[in-house]
Amino acid sequence: MLQAWGTLYAQKDSVVFQAGKNSFRTNCSGCHSIHQEIYGPMLGSISKKRPEDWLIAFIKNSRKVIRSGDPYATTLFNKFNQQQMPAFEHLSESEIKAILYYIELESKQPNLFLNDAAMPAVNNTSIIEGKLAFQEHCTMCHFIHKESDFAPALGSVTKRHSREWLIAFIQNSQKKVKANDPYAVHLYHAFDQHVMTTMLFLEPKEITDILNYIEFASTQDAAYTGKLNKDEYRKQAAIEIRKVTMKYSVIPLTSLALIVFSLLFLLIFLYQVYRFVILL
């Protein structure tokens, strides 16, 4: 745990991460967020969902990939009402890799405040029931707005596949893997062959509710818990995250060790003095 925090923060300071972050801000953040669907799909976990060469080709020129008849790209394009993502031919492969690296780390960022349950009140029965069912069957592994230690972020997932595909996958993901579905096979390996529990007991109607909830929640700002106004909230979040980082950082641990050692030395020294005096 300690080490995980340590490494995450170490990587976050790396040159590649910073370059990717800056490039993402300049080129992508107008349409994309890693934790929320805006004009384009939410990008959390995308570097694990799709092969790297596919991502590079799509980011360089999505129109070319769609025109080649790629079924995944076609579904996505249609679900986003055929909005064309601009081409980024001028970005080099290593610049795109840096962006993907930034997305990869940021997908799992230890933002304690990303709250899946944060959403405005809705009076849509399907979404309300879907939320309850999601909490019952899915939250032990999945978040919607970020990646967990062993399962992908689910934001925007309904824009990437047909409903039939999703229902079949959720009921029995291994069946898709065994049938050599290329998407399912890649995802399964990207998540170190963690097997998603079969959900054959869920009726298509229940899964449809869950998917309606995921679709709705994907577009909500989950960095907002609803209790504070947004600016206030973001300030608080920054303070909390700094506290956690400090707590696990090396500096307090080393100073603690130093204090303990000095006390020990002092005790030994005093004992020796005491013995010396007694002997005299």
Which positions lie near ligand HEC, rule CB under 6 A? 27-28, 30-32, 39-41, 46, 49-50, 55, 58-59, 62, 76-77, 80, 83, 85-86, 88, 99, 137-138, 140-142, 150-152, 154, 156-157, 160, 166, 169-170, 173, 177, 187-188, 191, 194-197, 199, 210
Shortest separation between residue 239's beta carbon and ligand HEC, angstroms: 30
Is the Cβ of residue 213 or residue 224 nearer to ligand HEC in the bound state? Answer: 213
Please count the CA atoms within 13 angstroms of the CA of 104 that sit on its side-chain side. Answer: 20
For residues 145 and 36, give the distance between their C-alpha atoms in angstroms, rounded to a whole number.
6
Rg of the chain on CA atoms, in Å? 24
* Least gap, CB of 50 to ligand HEC (angstroms): 6
CB atoms within 10 A of CB 118: 17
The type of residue at 10 is A
Q: Are 24 and 85 in contact (CB under 8 A)?
A: no
Which CB atom, from 186 or from 234, has the smaller least distance to ligand HEC? 186
Which CB atom, from 150 or from 269, has the smaller least distance to ligand HEC?
150
In terms of CB distance, is 71 or 86 closer to ligand HEC? 86
Query: Cβ-count burial of 210 within 10 angstroms (0-12 exposed, 13-18 middle, 19+ buried)?
Result: buried
Phi, psi for residue 174 in degrees, rounded to 5: -65, -30
Q: Which is nearer to ligand HEC, 46 or 127 (CB)?
A: 46
CB of 126 to ligand HEC, least distance (A): 14
The H or E element containing residue 249 is: none
What lies within 8 Å, CB to CB, of 236 at 6+ separation is 228
Whether the CB-CB separation of 114 and 145 falls below 8 Å is answered with: yes
- 6 or 129: CB nearest ligand HEC: 129
Query: 3-class SS at 30?
Result: coil
d(CA 154, CA 210): 11
Indicate the residue among 140 and 264 with the shorter CB distance to ligand HEC.
Answer: 140
Q: Please say which residue, 138 or 237, places its beta carbon nearer to ligand HEC.
A: 138
We find the least distance from the C-beta atom of residue 231 to ligand HEC, in angstroms, to be 26
What's the one-letter identity of residue 214? I
Q: Residues for the chain: how many in total?
A: 280
Eight-state DSSP code of residue 82: T
